[in-house]
Amino acid sequence: MAVPGKVAAFHLPPLPTVGEIIKLFRLKAQKQLSQNFLLDLRLTDKIVRQAGELKNTHVCEVGPGPGGITRSILRAGVEQLLLIEKDARFIPGLQMLSEAAPGKVRIVHGDILTYKMEKAFPKHLKKNWEDEPPDIHIIGNLPFSVSTPLIIKWLENVSKKDGPFIYGRTQMTLTFQKEVAERLTANPGGKQRSRLSIMSQHLCTVENCFVIPGQAFVPKPEVDVAVVHFTPLVQPKIQQPFELVEKVVQSVFQFRRKYCFRGIETLFPESGRLKRTEQLMMTANVDPTLRPAQLSMSQFRNLCNTYRKMCDEDPSLFVYNYREELRQRKMRNSCKSTSQSEQTEEENHL
């Protein structure tokens, strides 16, 4: 858990307010990019405090937009601030902030989903995975459309210790829709327990810090927003490859309102499905009548470990895709019905 840090260790010279920057450069939030601006610097300071002590650290801010959180990060006394912004309209306003903090800010006009974070920070900041987290932080008010694919990508990076986690257990402080934040932090039995809960909690300590009401943003979104802090664990709770864990977890939650047995069945081809499903659940010691949201982390670990052994014995299991089997079956049925229809038409013609 991050210890909230202090803001205002560095004083920026007088600058236009964030609202004035928006007017000056005629910036409008684009709905298709799910952009929402946070103008209240008390709230941006509060977000930055959740990251912990930032003095003399290196920070990457994702999607700074008009620069509200950027100002709070700079005032926390960071050594270096890397800004990654996809929307070119915000670059001039960010350059104004960069000039106000000489030598501290680097701006990258690019997409965080494709940006190579392995070279984002100096090599001397690297720490061993078992050590305390490095003096590197990722902070961002994420657009809703990007937040889920981005956190899944970063969780995979945590699992493989690459991307921004090549430097060690880099901490992240990010915003999500309140409902997504609840999924990330949900406990077994909770109504928001989901694939995101397992994928995040088996790799990180995840803390739902506080909620920001929707009316604090411009334009006001239809939902509230939550700030979530992530610290990668030294040892993941499920010590299997990311792809295998994701496949098992996705399968279990595929039919979230049915017994978990129904979802686990989809890990296996139709031929021998029932027998293999029973074998997996019996070996993993999981009650087949539990709902997916009721399964504990240790039960998911048992399922993943047992499935891994079954895949080692039969490598074709891991490449099996239930949805692809359904698609091919539909195509066969469609071709069959078309053929029968053509035959009926021919008989009628005769």
Q: Which residues are annotated as a binding site for S-adenosyl-L-methionine?
A: 36, 38, 63, 85, 111, 141
| Cα–Cα distance for residue pair 288/291, rounded to 1 Å | 8
**Helix ranges restricted to H, the chain:** 18-24, 41-49, 68-75, 91-100, 144-160, 178-185, 195-201, 242-252, 260-264, 273-284, 297-313, 316-319, 322-349
Residue 82 gets which letter from DSSP? Answer: E
Cβ atoms 117, 60 nearer than 8 A: yes
Binding site feature residues: 36, 38, 63, 85, 111, 141
Q: Which amino acid is at 195?
A: R
Q: How far apart are CA 114 and CA 256, in angstroms?
A: 32
Structure token digits, residue 233: 């664990």
Among 242, 257, 258, residue whose Cα is nearest residue 304: 242
| The token pair that represents 258 in the structure block | 């049915």
What are phi and psi for residue 16, nearest 5 degrees? Answer: -60, 150
DSSP-derived secondary structure letter, 316 = H
3-state SS, residue 212 = strand
